[in-house]
Amino acid sequence: MGKSVEGKVVLITGAARGIGAETARVLARRGARLSLVGMEPDRLRALADELNATGRGGHVWFEADVTDQEAVDAAVAGTVDALGGIDVVMANAGIANNGTVRINPADALVRTIDVNLNGVIRTVSAALPHVIERRGYVLVVASLASFTILPGMAAYCSSKAGAEAFANVLRLEVAHLGVKVGSAHPSWIDTDLVRDTEDDLPTFRQARKELPGPLGSTTSVEACAVAFADGIARRKRRVYVPRSLAVFQALRTVVISPLGDLPIRLRGRKMVPQMEDEVRALGRSFGRATVAHGGDERAVAAKAAARRDRTPA
């Protein structure tokens, strides 16, 4: 693929908004043809129309929940039928539940892992034969959370660490086939997901502000999309946003050591109970923009309410 995406077919999950949508815009400007996959058909349709209106055309969209293998397979097959193949798959769909393990319903925790890890596996598995055919590239969107931890992020951190590990093993399995595999590790990006979490949980917002350097800084979605597009063009092994996060990954054994735990544990004595109170008052397990259960947040909210009734304040 060299350093150009001109004429390449790129399938992106979680393409309706945020990092996925903005990366699609950057790649389209560089001449790629996009397959936009997600759970919000109105947004996907509007984005495809926007990209096609630039004059190059050749962009398509498919509604699919990445936890539904049949839907993912259909989106991949539709992409191949419409665009002739797949050069790049960017497994980007992701969600984050609110709050701790103690007060979250198990369904919310499992849903986070199902989308962020199993959704990656389902997407990559479905697209891989076509990517192999073109000796293409796979970009698994992991996170800063792959190698750092914060209270309230147990399921999210678990899912992103798993996504990174999946990419690392896949890289070895397909290297002899001419396929490259990368993992992306963005920090806090100015997206609906991050804004919703901070709006819902003031304690979390304050805790993040106290993190040092890039661990607490926010990057624009536009800058993140450019970094992702550059990573795809260069078939990079790692994409860090911002780049300085590479240092923290190199020091991950210190970050998750007893020494690294100490300041968070001291702060957590007050922060964790406050956060749990905020989640109880919120009455839902996901942000407003999250399509949590095929659009049915009520099922999760009902189970969260039942759990709160059984949990002492």
Mean pLDDT by 10 residues, the chain (313 residues): 85 97 97 97 97 87 98 98 98 94 94 97 98 98 90 94 97 98 94 84 78 80 98 98 84 62 67 88 86 46 43 39
- Tokens for 166? 């999946």
Q: Give yes or no: 240 in active site.
A: no
Residue spans of the domains in the chain: they are: 9-310
User: Within 13 Å of residue 251, how many CA atoms lie on the same side as its CB?
Assistant: 10
Q: Tell me how far apart the alpha carbons of residues 94 and 119 are, in angstroms, rounded to a whole number.
A: 8
pTM above 0.85, yes or no: yes
Question: Which is the CATH superfamily of the domain at 9-310?
Answer: NAD(P)-binding Rossmann-like Domain (3.40.50.720)
Per DSSP, 103 falls in state T
Annotated catalytic residue, options 156, 188, 240, 248? 156
Q: Tell me how far apart the alpha carbons of residues 205 and 153 are, in angstroms, rounded to a whole number.
A: 13
| 132-171 residues labelled b (16+ CB within 10 A) or e (exposed) | eebebbbbbbbbbbbbbbbbbbbbbbbbbbbbbebbeebb
Q: Tell me how far apart the alpha carbons of residues 185 and 85 are, in angstroms, rounded to a whole number.
A: 27
